[in-house]
Structure 1
């Protein structure tokens, strides 16, 4: 399995937080003082129970009531009345790719990071995740050679050509079977910082239709399980 970055490796740990009983004005002042557009809402045990944003506060300030369910926000005096709940969170041990998917799926800009008990551990933003794609090309190339080619695929890196330019990976050379080419490409795409993988690999044996052999099935099964991790 190639090395992946857990969310805790990129998250911020110094996070502005509010409590459900925090008054509206105090929450607005805190966001302004920290220069942030939103903050996790935590209870007395540190468990994340919601998120409050500038948008939530503006709905209260403007007194907008477009639908019945917004009435509480428009008249609320405390964060418990204004916050968005339940909060979308991500586990600190999860891979950064999961955090990226959550941000995109829910169209949000920040995610509270929690531990196994649901307590706040930090905060991750789109900018934090973007840093992953700023990895030097030399670092990406080294990981593909050492982790993907040598450790996972058990192929001598000297037998293949690997180049990385602006995150775009090019793989050249020959492998024993076509199925191994597919696996190698998939693992290479999973390396943090990779933008695209260009395939110039060839295979000595086209085993795409040889799924009936026990050996072929075993090989695909093992690598398939690794891909799901």
Structure 2
């Protein structure tokens, strides 16, 4: 129903600086400084991603440089202590690497970043070969989409699909990424579905769904008096000609 959503391949950075497993510590620091990056994918000879080495992996070397670790560090930070003595990318990297496929939709990449608490992901193909890197800022590019483009997609891909023959037009307005829908729909039970589909349109920040149900039709017999109840025989009376009841 919707237009083809963007994938990771649409927003990723294709020029990627990567290092081999045997890259030494000082060369890792130099590479990060030269390219102004805080993490580097580690690849094998076929460019398959083996892991990722980040600034956090390098810091234990400085942290434990001027003294022996205390008892707490020795017991609780064995991994950091090992990295403090590491010399190569292979010894320092976090493995296996958290990656994302190039053909995955953007929400998938966002969920991986949030779940794994990382700022960027190496992008790989089906064989695990490095194709690029995607960052948080890359995923936010969809919110640069023009408001009128968003409104047009909502009109043609959501409203026209759910309400092909509306009794009256449904108005769609987008402002700063917030989509507002007004008008009447034949069944208000579908309103949550409308809101969910609109929210799924790329670039939508939020949805104000002010759709109403059909107008109430007046009762055709509204002016007729209600008949009094006569179910109880005790309530029935016969009026005699002299005005007395019997």
Same fold (TM over 0.5): yes
2:26 is matched with: 25
Q: Is the 8 A contact 2:178 2:204 kept in 1?
A: yes
1:45 is matched with: 46
CA distance in 2, matches of 1:27, 1:197: 46
Alignment of 1:23-172 (within 5 A): 23-63=24-64, 66=73, 67-150=77-160, 152-153=161-162, 155=164, 159-172=169-182
Q: Is the 8 A contact 1:181 1:203 kept in 2?
A: no
Q: SS at 1:184's partner residue?
A: helix
Query: CA shift at 1:182, angstroms?
Result: 2.1
Query: CA shift at 1:105, angstroms?
Result: 2.0
Q: Is the 8 A contact 1:90 1:114 kept in 2?
A: yes
Relative to the length of structure 2, the TM-score reads: 0.77
Q: SS at 2:126's partner residue?
A: coil
CA distance in 1, matches of 2:48, 2:159: 42
Query: CA shift at 1:135, angstroms?
Result: 1.1
CA distance in 1, matches of 2:193, 2:138: 29
Query: CA shift at 1:156, angstroms?
Result: 5.5
CA distance in 1, matches of 2:185, 2:15: 48
Structure 1 unmatched ranges of 5 or more: 206-229
1:2 is matched with: 2
Structure 2 unmatched ranges of 5 or more: 216-246
Query: CA shift at 1:202, angstroms?
Result: 2.1
CA distance in 2, matches of 1:22, 1:156: 64
RMSD of aligned Cα (Å): 2.0
Q: Deviations over 1:191-212 (max 9, x none)?
A: 111111001112349xxxxxxx
Query: CA shift at 1:62, angstroms?
Result: 3.2
Q: Is the 8 A contact 1:162 1:170 kept in 2?
A: yes
1:216 is matched with: none
**Which structure is larger by alpha-carbon Rg, 1 or 2?**
2
Query: CA shift at 1:154, angstroms?
Result: 5.2
Query: CA shift at 1:77, angstroms?
Result: 0.6
Q: SS at 1:105's partner residue?
A: helix
Where is the helix percentage greater, Structure 1 or Structure 2?
Answer: 1
Query: CA shift at 1:140, angstroms?
Result: 0.9
CA distance in 2, matches of 1:102, 1:95: 11
Query: CA shift at 1:60, angstroms?
Result: 2.4
Query: CA shift at 1:22, angstroms?
Result: 0.9
Query: CA shift at 1:159, angstroms?
Result: 2.0
CA distance in 2, matches of 1:103, 1:27: 23
Counterparts in 2 of 1:162 and 1:76: CA distance versus 1, 3 Å: same
